[in-house]
Amino acid sequence: MLKKFLVHILFPQFCLNCKREGALVCEDCLSSIDLSEFNYCPFCQTPKRVFTEGTCLSHRKMKLSGIFSATSYQNPLVKKLISKFKYEPFLKNLTSPLTSLIIAHFLLSENKLISQNKENSVFLPIPLAKFRERWRGFNQAALIAQVLSKFYKIPLLNNNLIKTKQTQPQVELKKEKREKNIRGVFTVKNPQEIQGKRVFLVDDVFTTGSTMEECARILRKAGAKEVWGIVVARE
């Protein structure tokens, strides 16, 4: 307690949005973020609401079962928080407020999938290339997955899905090139850990879906029964 008190006195935190002292994101600013009440097909350019199926009829053959997204990446505050989290100054302490948006989304949408059949489910973060993880100091998807794992009491497999090749950053590419860029760069180390399991694949932002779909393909090939994406925000 004394250590925390001294840190707070010597290194006070200020809200990244309103500059109020006390936290990196104050409760008022965090609660101002509009959360998604519903779920939408991951692959439709025009948002198409889906229910238990996870995807629309046109995309049922995709390997990703569906996506759970807490909010929109178009929200300026959300974009700012994720940028400060992933890029310099690499604010690792943003893990908690960003993950709280995901949990709040599940509560708001009353989606029960996350709490069903927990003994046969696992959380699994999208892996980073080793050099990028060393540069950042952490894998942001792994940090979010750790908090979700503790909250929902679902096992976390942190180093089973790995990235085996260095790729060009996806943010720099258009959809067609993203798919080619990411093809064949992931592998599963221990297939027995995911065989017959429902995998919740965790990341920070969902854009075209190329990375998650490729990961889902590899996981399904290794024996996963279902692969659902979970992200803080969707573009």
> Of all residues in the chain, what percent carry a pLDDT higher than 90?
74
| C-alpha to C-alpha distances, 177 to 18, 167, 181, 208, nearest whole angstrom | 39, 11, 6, 11
In a domain, 211, yes or no: yes
Residues in the chain, total: 235
Position 52 confidence tier, pLDDT thresholds 50, 70, 90: confident
In a domain? residue 156: yes
With contact defined as beta carbons under 8 Å apart, do 212 and 67 qualify? yes
> At residue 10, does pLDDT exceed 80?
no
| Backbone torsions φ then ψ of 71, nearest 5 degrees | -155, -175
Q: Indicate the helix (H) or strand (E) that contains 29.
A: helix 27-31
| 94, part of any domain | yes
Does an H or E element contain 73, and which?
A: none
Instruction: Please identify which residue in the block is written with the tokens 């860029």.
Output: 181
- Is the peptide bond preceding residue 89 cis, with omega within 30 degrees of 0? yes
- Residue 60: CB atoms within 10 A of its CB come to 11
Residue at 161: amino acid letter: L
Q: What sign for the dihedral angle of Cα 158, 116, 98, 5? A: negative
CATH number (domain holding residue 109): 3.40.50
Question: Is residue 26 within 8 Å of 15, Cβ to Cβ?
Answer: yes
What is the arithmetic mean of pLDDT over 41-56? 92
Instruction: Tell me which residue range forms the domain holding 141.
Output: 23-234
Q: Is residue 121 part of a domain?
A: yes
pLDDT value for 56: 95
| 226 in a structural domain | yes
Residue 18 lies in a domain: no
**196 is a domain residue:** yes
Which pLDDT score, from 0 to 100, does residue 51 have?
86
> Would you tell me how many other CB atoms lie within 10 Å of the CB of residue 100?
16
How far is Cα 81 from Cα 145, in angstroms, rounded to an integer?
17
In the three-class reduction of DSSP (H, G, I as helix; E, B as strand; rest coil), residue 229 is classed as strand
Q: Is the pLDDT of residue 39 over 50?
A: yes
Q: Looking at residue 69, what is its pLDDT? A: 97
Q: How far, in Å, CA of 95 to CA of 139, rounded?
A: 11
| Within-domain flag for 133 | yes
> What's the total number of domains in the chain?
1
What's the whole-model pTM score?
A: 0.91
